[in-house]
């Protein structure tokens, strides 16, 4: 058999053409030469640590020799250290002129402010877990909900990310929610405001936009979209960012699978939105919205004779 001589591939001749695709203008899609960025791997680790903090033992760690208070103290210290380092990188990336000491002070202050909010966030997450248990007859107990339901993982991460978003922390809040999106198939922008006792049943394919406002005791099923109908633009044709463009869902609303609700509209209290509807106008309270049932045709199949 003829032996093939191994040839070394020289990639250098392709570099110049590839280099030409890079726009060297600051602020464009090029990270070379900038300060280090927050990393998704670290954000994922922090997300899991927050789950363990909110529900100690969820990740299966055996710390029987420690008291609950000792566990919480160690867990919170670990999270604060990890989160502070990522927020520090985000501040330095967002404003390259920021001095290191100033960025350290800002990240310290942000983490401290978040820690003050953690008791309230845990209470809200307990209400979310209770809503999931009360809303799903297949759930055997609340522990099962906390351990296995994707909505609990998503809401734990989202409620942390939302507070960081309100503090104007760059990059990190969106990275948190994109990690949750990857893990659960539920896509919630960190800007979305979500009330108490929120339950997403199944969850896959749910999309909740940035300026969505959701009240208390709301239940969504898989495939629901709370999105924008159009994107407002200024006189120069550029997108107006931050304008209210997503729905407001009032208290006690149920939205069934694959419903699409678009634009700055309101779904009133106690409304029920059926599967597969497409809604672009506000819905009054105490209203049910469904699409007309399709006509089903049944015909007998002729069997082939042998």
What are the structural domains, with CATH classification, of the chain?
33-185 (1.10.3130.10), 192-293 (2.160.10.10)
The secondary element (H helix, E strand) that includes residue 200 is strand 199-200
CA distance 276 to 265: 18
Give the pTM.
Answer: 0.89
pLDDT digits (tens, 9 = 90+) for 104-129: 999 999 999 999 999 999 999 999 99
Find out whether 264 and 244 touch, Cβ atoms under 8 Å. Answer: yes
CB of 232 closer than 8 Å to CB of 245? yes
Q: How many CB atoms lie within 10 A of CB 162?
A: 22
Question: How many angstroms separate the most distant Cα atoms in the chain?
Answer: 86
**What burial class does residue 18 get, using C-beta atoms within 10 Å of its C-beta: 0-12 exposed, 13-18 middle, 19+ buried?**
exposed
Q: What is the pLDDT of residue 230?
A: 73
pLDDT one digit per residue (tens) for the chain, 306 residues? 667 777 778 888 899 888 888 876 655 777 767 778 999 999 999 999 999 999 998 887 777 788 999 999 999 999 999 999 999 999 999 998 999 999 999 999 999 999 999 999 999 999 999 999 999 999 999 999 999 999 999 999 999 999 999 999 999 999 999 999 999 999 999 999 999 999 999 999 999 999 999 999 999 999 999 999 877 676 666 777 778 999 999 999 999 999 999 999 999 999 999 999 999 999 999 999 999 888 899 998 887 766
The token duo for 93 is: 């990336």
243-254 pLDDT, tens digit each: 899 999 999 999
Supply 96's token pair. 């390259």
CA dihedral 154, 69, 127, 155 (to 10 degrees): -10
Report d(CA 184, CA 223) in Å as an integer. 12
Q: Which two tokens stand for residue 14?
A: 């392709």
Say which DSSP state 35 is in.
P
Q: Exposed e or buried b for every residue in 102-139, given b needs 16+ CB within 10 A?
A: ebeebbeebbeebeeebeebeebbbbbbebbbebbeeb
């Amino acid at each position: 058999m003829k032996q093939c001589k191994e040839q070394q591939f020289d990639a250098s001749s392709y570099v110049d053409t590839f280099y030409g695709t890079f726009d060297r203008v600051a602020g464009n899609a090029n990270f070379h030469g900038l300060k280090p960025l927050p990393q998704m791997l670290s954000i994922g680790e922090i997300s899991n640590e927050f789950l363990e903090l909110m529900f100690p033992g969820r990740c299966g760690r055996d710390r029987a020799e420690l008291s609950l208070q000792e566990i919480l103290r160690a867990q919170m210290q670990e999270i604060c250290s990890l989160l502070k380092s990522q927020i520090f990188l985000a501040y330095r990336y967002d404003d390259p002129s920021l001095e290191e000491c100033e960025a350290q002070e800002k990240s310290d202050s942000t983490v401290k402010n978040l820690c003050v909010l953690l008791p309230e966030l845990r209470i809200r997450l307990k209400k979310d877990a209770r809503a999931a248990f009360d809303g799903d007859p297949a759930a055997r107990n609340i522990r099962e909900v906390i351990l296995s339901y994707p909505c609990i993982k998503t809401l734990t991460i989202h409620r942390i990310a939302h507070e960081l978003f309100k503090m104007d922390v760059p990059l990190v809040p969106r990275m948190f929610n994109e990690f949750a999106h990857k893990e659960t198939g539920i896509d919630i922008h960190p800007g979305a405001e979500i009330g108490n006792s929120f339950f997403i049943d199944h969850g896959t394919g749910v999309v909740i936009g940035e300026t969505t406002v959701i009240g208390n005791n709301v239940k969504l099923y898989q495939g629901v979209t709370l999105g924008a109908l159009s994107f407002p633009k200024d006189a120069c044709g550029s997108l107006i960012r931050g304008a209210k463009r997503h729905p407001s869902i009032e208290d006690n609303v149920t939205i069934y699978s694959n419903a699409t609700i678009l634009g700055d509209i309101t779904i009133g209290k106690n409304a029920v939105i059926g599967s597969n509807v497409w809604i672009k106008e506000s819905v009054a309270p105490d209203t049910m919205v469904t699409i007309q049932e399709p006509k089903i045709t049944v015909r007998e199949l002729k069997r082939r004779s042998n």
